[in-house]
Structure formats: C-alpha cells, structure tokens
Amino acid sequence: MADLRVERLVHVYRESGVRALDGIDLEIRAGERVALVGQNGSGKTTLVRHLNGLLRPTEGRVLVDGHDAGSMTVAQLAARIGLVFQDPDRQIFAGSVRAEVEFGPRNLGRSGAELSAAVADALAATGLEGETATNPYDLGGSRRKLLALASVLAMRTPVLVLDEPTTGQDARGVERVRAVIEAAAAAGRTVVAISHDMRFVAEAFERVVVMRGGRVVLDGSPSDVFAEASWDALRSTYLEPPLASRIGGRLGLGSTPTDAALIARLREGAEGPAS
C-alpha cells in the first residue's frame, strides 16, 4: 500500500519552456482508484511521470509513502510505482511474451517461484497465459498493449499507473483492463489511470481528477464530476460526460454517470415512489 502526495508541483520543460504543471496539489490514498482526465496537453502524462521519478519537479515535490521521490532513483521508485506506457511498441524488446513479462520483476530482483507466480498471475489477468512462447510482435496491437500491462502487473508494485489503457481495445479488451483494475484495487493496490474514455472512467474508478492547463479543475467522485453542474467545466477541457450522464441530466434524473446508475433511476421512476 502506498500513499501519494503531490505538493505545489510545477514542471517547466527546459527545451520548450512549456509550463506543463502549474502548482498541482493532490493526495491519493492507498488503495484508491483515480482517473486523470483532461484535454491533450493538460499535463496528465507529465504528472504521472513525476510519480516514478522519470521527471523531476521544477518546483514542489512528490511524496511516496511520506518519502520525497526526489531523493530516490527511478529504479528505486519502480519497485513501488509501476507505470504502463501508452505505446507498447516503445517498451517491447524480448523474443517471447514470457521473457517480456519477466523483465520488470527480474529487475526488481525476483526469482524462482516468486518470479514464476508473478508472471503467471499477470499473464492470466491479461488473458495471455496461452501465449508465453509467442513473439510479442506476432500479437495484434491490442494484445501487445495487454502484454505491456502484464509486464508491469508482474512487478506487483503497490501503485499501478496506466497511461491510456483502453486505447485501441475492443469491448472485451476494455472489460479485461477494467477487471485488472478492480482486482488490483481489491488487493489493496492504488490505481491511477489517464483516460479519454469517459464511460470507462465512470465505471472503473471511484475518483476523477480533471486537469486543464497544468492545473486540477475538478476532483471528486464520478457522480460529482459528471453531474450536470460540472458539464461546463468539463467541456472547457474538451471532454464530454458519459452518455448515461447526459441522458440522466436531460431527463432530470440527477447524476447517472454509469449505465447501471441510469437504469436504476429509470426503474425507480417507472415503479414510482414506494408507498
């Protein structure tokens, strides 16, 4: 379990002078499932790269379990924060699925039965258990993305950070990613994910942080963030609330961020108030 705390975090890219983060304050408690959303360039990826030390703050600091991430190397932070990149082809190098998944835990010093179990669990969670000997480049794009996820899952880090995990996934792939997130949260792991898929965000996360211009503009439960009162703020970041929210809002049913919430409200309305 790991608490994450971001304090007045500012990041300015030296080459371009772009101020990607402009004084972010954020606290993520151990075991939380948090979605980071916002338009392209709002600072989401920059923020998560600070969590595992790939970027260092221009100002402010990041605390992992109370320890300043600035005093730790990326290799040390990798044992606590597992970051899955958006593009799997920018990390896959091994000749087999198994070797690719083993890479991370081996870097952390795992071996023997512990390594085998971690790899087997990660492959099973992502549905790749039958592909251990397959060359990763023989897998389709969506399965390579699941492989990248498996390779970080196998590291069994207390925090799992996912950058656009559902991009390029069909409904079955999205469901699998959602199951991985739920299983990780059930095991007490913290999950932070960047996503543009608002339906997925509403259904898989308990907290949504909306960013714009390097700042947090909304932070709350999916029910709060996707409620009609927040639509203007959401649209200012070029995000549309999930369809269920929009239908619920138009019908005056209150906040219905998920399909299940919308159906429940519709049923309540059809059955009328309990006498």
If the CB atoms of residues 82 and 265 are measured against another protein, the closer one turns out to be 82
CA distances for 160 relative to 12, 117, 254, angstroms: 25, 18, 32
Q: Which of 133, 117, 134, 135 is nearest to 125 (CA)?
A: 117
x/- letters, 96..135, toward another protein (CB under 8 A)? -------xx--xx---------------------------
Does position 19 interact with another protein (CB under 8 A)? The reply is no
Q: Which two tokens stand for residue 124?
A: 């099973």
If the CB atoms of residues 79 and 117 are measured against another protein, the closer one turns out to be 79
Binds another protein (CB under 8 A): choice among 146, 150, 152, 177: 152
CB of 159 to another protein, least distance (A): 12
If the CB atoms of residues 215 and 266 are measured against another protein, the closer one turns out to be 215
CB of 136 to another protein, least distance (A): 9
Q: Which residues contact 146 (CB under 8 A, 6 or more apart)?
A: 126, 127, 128, 173, 176, 177
Q: Which of 142, 267, 256 is nearest to 199 (CA)?
A: 256
Does position 83 interact with another protein (CB under 8 A)? The reply is yes
Report the DSSP beta bridge partners of residue 7: 61
CB of 151 to another protein, least distance (A): 6
The interface with another protein within residues 199-258 (CB under 8 A) comprises 210, 212-213, 215-220, 229-230, 232-233, 235-236
What three-state secondary structure class fits 9? strand
- For 221-238, what is the HEC assignment? CHHHHCCHHHHHHHHCCC
If the CB atoms of residues 99 and 266 are measured against another protein, the closer one turns out to be 99
Nearest-angstrom CA–CA distance, 247 and 107: 48
What three-state secondary structure class fits 79? coil
Q: Which residues contact 56 (CB under 8 A, 6 or more apart)?
A: 50, 70
If the CB atoms of residues 91 and 169 are measured against another protein, the closer one turns out to be 91
Q: Would you tell me which residues interact with another protein (CB under 8 A)?
A: 49, 52, 54, 73-75, 78-79, 81-83, 85, 87, 89-94, 103-104, 107-108, 137, 151-152, 155, 210, 212-213, 215-220, 229-230, 232-233, 235-236
